[in-house]
Amino acid sequence: MPPTPQRSIHSRAAVAGHPLHPVMIHFPVAALLGLVASDLGFLVTQDPFWARASLWLAGVGAFGGWVASLAGLIDLVTVKRIRRLITAWSHAMVAVVLLSLASLNWLWRFAGEALLPWGLALTLATAALIALAGFLGGQLVYEHAVGVDLDD
């Protein structure tokens, strides 16, 4: 277990000291993970409801993720101690790839393309990248105290 950091790294994209990025990211993550279930629902039942649900989940997840990423980007470029962390850059790069795939997935569905094989592949790749981005985000919080108030 790594040692406790000496002091907090405060977020610039915050309201009343509460960082916005971790608050905003939960809904897009839930939508993109729900996309896995709705895609599987469509594969099993062939019910068009699941295809429509997947289209909406992909769109909400991609758009919401890009909006939430703005708060993370503000912190990355304006807080020197965050900019110095390899973990922060790794988290940002994984997030950009993840959101690019999520956006492509939404566009694929919006264009009416078939779920198999590429739609499902994009969904599963996005879910895997969510896990990696979440792991790296957790490291930023728990190992580097980004957005955590330890200074009291």
pLDDT of residue 5: 46
Q: Residue 151's CB: how many other CB atoms inside 10 A?
A: 9
- Alpha helices by DSSP H, listed for 7-119, are 20-24, 26-45, 48-78, 80-83, 86-110
Q: What tens digit of pLDDT does each residue of 80-116 get?
A: 999 999 999 999 999 999 999 999 999 999 999 989 9
Q: What tens digit of pLDDT does each residue of 20-62 get?
A: 999 999 999 999 999 999 999 999 999 999 999 999 999 999 9
pLDDT of residue 1: 60
Closest CA to 98 of 58, 138, 71: 58
Residue 105 in contact with residue 123, Cβ under 8 Å?
A: yes
Q: Is 42 helix (H, G, I), strand (E, B) or coil?
A: helix
Distance CA 130, CA 61 (A): 11
Measured on CA atoms in the order 83, 89, 95, 101, is the torsion positive or negative? positive
The pTM of this model reads 0.90
